[in-house]
Amino acid sequence: MNQRDKSTLRSHRWFGAADLRSFGHRSRIRQLGFDLEDIDGKPIIAIINTWSGLAHCHGHFPARVESIKRGVLEAGGFPVEIPVMALPENFVKPTTMLYRNLLAMEVEENLRSLPVDGAVLMGGCDKTTPATLMGAISAGIPAIFMPAGPMLRGNWGGKILGSGSDIWKYWDEKRAGTITEAQWSEMESGIARSDGVCMTMGTAMTMTSLAEVLGLTLPGATSIPAADSSHARMATACGRRAVELAWDDRRLTDILTPASFDNAIIASAALAGSTNAIIHLIALARRAGIPLALDRFDQLSTGVPVLANIRPSGAFLMEDFFYAGGLTAFLTRIAERLDLTAATVNGHTLGENIATATIWNDDVIRPLDRPVATADGLAVLRGNLAPNGCVMKPAAAAPHLLKHQGPALVFDDYDSMARAVADPDLDVTADTVLVLRNAGPLGGPGMPEWGMLPIPVKLLKQGVRDMLRISDSRMSGTSYGACILHVAPEAFIGGPLALIRTGDVIELDVAARRISVRLSDAELDSRRAAWVPPAPRYARGYGAMAAAHIGQADTGCDFDFLQQAGVIAEPAIH
């Protein structure tokens, strides 16, 4: 390594001066059991750790912290672990999405307020990836993302199980009476066999994959299973690279460009990635000062074939994807659509990073002439029901529902919907359009993953396995079906979804990108005048703050005060 000037380090402001305040800083380092030689002239690297005793997907993070520390020390840096909110997807209620922005704020303020020169961001479970990246972008500190990696394949009765997607399927079979309680219990024991995030192309793997496409991870990092020894070696390499990024003062905003986000959108379409990525990419782009709009997703996704044969859209799981060559190999399939000059954190371009990648199984990573689906992995729909847009994954829906009209069956809350669909005498047919409203960013609260509304048990027993469903909520990336999501503006603030009634006819035409309710403007205006806003979900605390400042789905659901332009000054050291 070349000789470096320690006075250029951000942490030098804390420790390098010959004054009383720096005396206090240095004495506290000694209190921690370190000598001044341990930090003098060395970049201090924050290890942002989203582990907790309930962070099921991040159970290996304590061991990975030690791997990262080793890499930092090898490169001549000084590692410090900084725990932040864990956000375990399954356990946090009402939804981790409510707290994504809080974690982003925590990461940002930790990085800004403490004497650190760079960071390794440890995340993976759904919201931890966008949140830690959002915080690091806004803090303006050099950083690299270390993805948690997927868990191993699930197993049950000689069958391979995939997180979420298979359970949705078998849950419907259980409700239809074709799966026993004993079999269901066996699945519980076999579906999550190791540390790591969901091994399907759910939100976790979508977002970590897109972090790599954006250039914010080491090449190949996201595909490594959490249980593979390669994952620990990758963590060590992240630590080493973080030191170099700190010396170079290379920040995430130096890497992220409009082309980077275009690459991520195209890759997400070819991966059949989670619709949640739309919200998170918009939020990330806007943090970086890039005005990414919802329609850009439709423009770039059109005509992009689905090439990743990964559940829920395909047949395989992430472990298979890794053995087939992983994300770097996958990107060679769509290289002609990507901007290969885009920068990445390892100092090379995206094109350089994938140049030597090899595909070992072209059934898992399909060639262009044999895709999983030809196109339409994503559609952005508009109309009088969603003037600011809503989204759908046409490839995940039954084809006959892509142009459909039927009477609405409207639910104002999740509990009433759950009770109704369990009623064997519910007045519903396969043509009915299920509508769940008041489930958006404010209404949920926090926009929970309720968008894959259950098929009514009455229809399940008739053999129905898909029907049109509409909501202002989100949907798990492991879900599937003819589900229209992210309706904006949401019903809770008076969006058109608040005005429809059971029996109103809803019309969908995916090819035309239209979603509407068969009502005149005059009728909608009349209903809007009579609409009474619901009471706020929170009277105090973080929930009240979130409600006052959160944006709608089409703007990334970020807080308005976190998207403001301008650089926050470095903290005064006195």
**189 in any annotated domain:** no
Residue 3's pLDDT is 60
Residue 564's pLDDT is 74
- Structure-token match 């915080």, residue found: 135
pLDDT digits over 322-337, tens only?
999 999 999 999 999 9
Contact yes or no for 97/278 (Cβ under 8 A):
no
356 contact partners, CB below 8 Å, separation of at least 6: none
**367 in any annotated domain:** no
pLDDT digits over 196-207, tens only?
999 999 999 999
**510 in any annotated domain:** yes
Domain end call among 492, 513, 530 = 530
Both 286 and 150 in a single domain? yes
Coil vs helix vs strand at 250: coil
Distance separating the N- and C-terminal Cα atoms of the chain: 33
Residue 325's pLDDT is 98
Both 79 and 130 in a single domain? yes
**448 in any annotated domain:** yes
Exposed (0-12), middle (13-18) or buried (19+): which is 448, by Cβ within 10 Å? buried
Domain end call among 326, 344, 362 = 344
Whose CA is closest to 308, among 213, 382, 428? 213
Both 315 and 385 in a single domain? no
Contact yes or no for 516/491 (Cβ under 8 A):
no
| Single-letter code of the amino acid located at 434 | L
Residue 2's pLDDT is 45
Q: How far apart (Å, rounded) are the C-alpha atoms in residues 437 and 443?
A: 8
Angle made by CA atoms 421, 425, 429, in degrees to the nearest 5: 70
Token code pair at residue 221? 């990092």
Backbone dihedral angles phi then psi of residue 341, each to the nearest 5 degrees: -85, -5
Both 74 and 219 in a single domain? yes
**246 in any annotated domain:** yes
**366 in any annotated domain:** no
**473 in any annotated domain:** yes
pTM: 0.96
Both 207 and 296 in a single domain? yes
- Give helix 294-301 / helix 276-287 axis angle, nearest 10°: 120
Residues in the chain with pLDDT < 50?
Answer: 1-2
Q: How far apart (Å, rounded) are the C-alpha atoms in residues 236 and 426?
A: 57
**9 in any annotated domain:** no
Tell me the longest C-alpha to C-alpha distance in the chain: 80
Both 399 and 472 in a single domain? yes
Domain that holds residue 444: 380-530
Domain end call among 344, 366, 401 = 344
Residue 347's pLDDT is 97
